[in-house]
Amino acid sequence: MLLLTGASGLLGEAVLRRLLARGVPVRCLVRDPRRLGSHRVRVQLAIGDLADPAGWRNALRGVDTVVHLAGGARDQPRATVEELNGLAAWRLLRAAERVGARHFLWLTPLGAAPTHPMRLHRAKALAGAAVAAAPIPTTTVAHSLLYSPGDRHLRWLERLGLLPAVPLVGRGGARTQPLWAEDAADCVLALLDAPPDGHARVELAGPEIVTQREFVRLVLRAAGRRRRTVPVPLAALRAGLRGEEALAGPTALVTWDEAQLLSVDMLSARGTADAEALGVRPRRLAAVLGSG
């Protein structure tokens, strides 16, 4: 039995489709089964969330592989960013050890470090230290910016494209190597086919380095819009988004923590080498979006 967290997310949904197509028995840890759509009748359901480890007992019963793709860049009513991305990963790893799981695969952003300016990256780095010292085999999947046509991030950018000019986070110079979620999912399945004896780390990135400004322009071009971009100083953006969070609470359209994700580099010196070693050749951004 394989336990999957984050099954309704961008990467998780793509991974789940592939697992079901192979006939792999999957149990999904979910808060709301409706978010799985039609997949919910093809998996075992474990109702719970990352903030409540007491509810994981049934989720982990009989599990030999854990694929932990859940997390979040904004605070939730019951858990902070640090709890969702750091503490939850550590707790789930320890729970997997107790039930005798033979493989723990999890997700972390490229560049995560204890001194990183992003809360999410700092939390992931601390969890990563625990994963690297685990007594069971683990796979750390470090990724650059993940995207897919129609995902939440791209829809948000397309809405901004209705404005005369599109605001950027800071100067718009942060660099990423965008990776299509479908290509990332193929890599995850390949990693599950050959679990490590110890602790493996792979870096997944797309075939091109683009700045935030270039990424926005490609997305808008694919949507049939051409707009100029306007840098927004981080200090001003932070003040504005913090104010929105204070007024809207959990329903805020974008939080400061989420916006910051667009202002940091997410690069791999290995480029696409790790993906290609898994038999996957990542596609270029323009080819996926149809903006070439």
What does the pLDDT average to over 158-180? 87
Computed over every residue of the chain, the mean pLDDT equals 91
Range with lowest mean pLDDT among 31-35, 142-146, 152-156, 257-261: 257-261
pLDDT of residue 197: 87
Structure tokens at 97: 């050890």
Domain ranges of the chain: 2-144+180-205+269-283
**Helices marked H in the chain — which ranges?**
10-22, 81-82, 88-98, 119-132, 152-160, 181-193, 212-222, 234-248, 256-260, 273-277, 285-289
What does the pLDDT average to over 57-67? 94
> In the predicted model, is pLDDT for residue 261 greater than 80?
no
Positive or negative: CA dihedral 92, 257, 80, 159: negative
> In the predicted model, is pLDDT for residue 251 greater than 70?
no
Q: What is the DSSP letter of 262?
A: G
Rounded CA gap, 96 and 111, in Å? 26
pLDDT of residue 144: 97
**What does the chain come to in residues?**
292
> In the predicted model, is pLDDT for residue 108 greater than 70?
yes
Q: What is the DSSP letter of 106?
A: E
pLDDT of residue 33: 92
> In the predicted model, is pLDDT for residue 254 greater than 90?
no
What does the pLDDT average to over 255-266? 79
Q: Is 143 within 8 Å of 178 (Cβ atoms)?
A: no
What does the pLDDT average to over 85-95? 95
To 10 degrees, the CA torsion angle through 123, 128, 134, 140? 130
Superfamily of domain 2-144+180-205+269-283: NAD(P)-binding Rossmann-like Domain (3.40.50.720)
Name the nearest CA neighbour of 71 among 112, 27, 115. Answer: 112
> In the predicted model, is pLDDT for residue 292 greater than 60?
no
Positive or negative: CA dihedral 165, 170, 173, 179: negative
pLDDT of residue 9: 93
Beta bridge partners of 104: 66, 138
pLDDT of residue 150: 87
Which residues neighbour 230 within 8 Å (Cβ) at sequence distance 6 or greater? 165, 166, 167, 168
pLDDT of residue 284: 96
**Comparing 211 with 163, which gets the higher pLDDT?**
211
Rounded CA gap, 55 and 29, in Å? 10
Angle of helix 119-132 versus helix 88-98 axis, rounded to 10: 20
Q: How far is CA 115 from CA 8, 195, 257, in A?
A: 30, 30, 16
pLDDT band at 285 (very low <50, low <70, confident <90, very high): very high
Q: Which range has highest mean pLDDT (35-49, 158-172, 238-252)? A: 35-49
pLDDT of residue 57: 84
Rounded CA gap, 168 and 42, in Å? 41
What does the pLDDT average to over 31-45? 92
pLDDT of residue 227: 83
Rounded CA gap, 32 and 54, in Å? 17
pLDDT of residue 36: 93
Rounded CA gap, 193 and 126, in Å? 27
Structure tokens at 105: 């695969």
Chain segment 200-249, per-residue pLDDT in tens: 999 999 999 999 999 999 998 888 888 888 888 878 777 777 777 677 66
Number of helices and strands in the chain (H, E): 11, 13
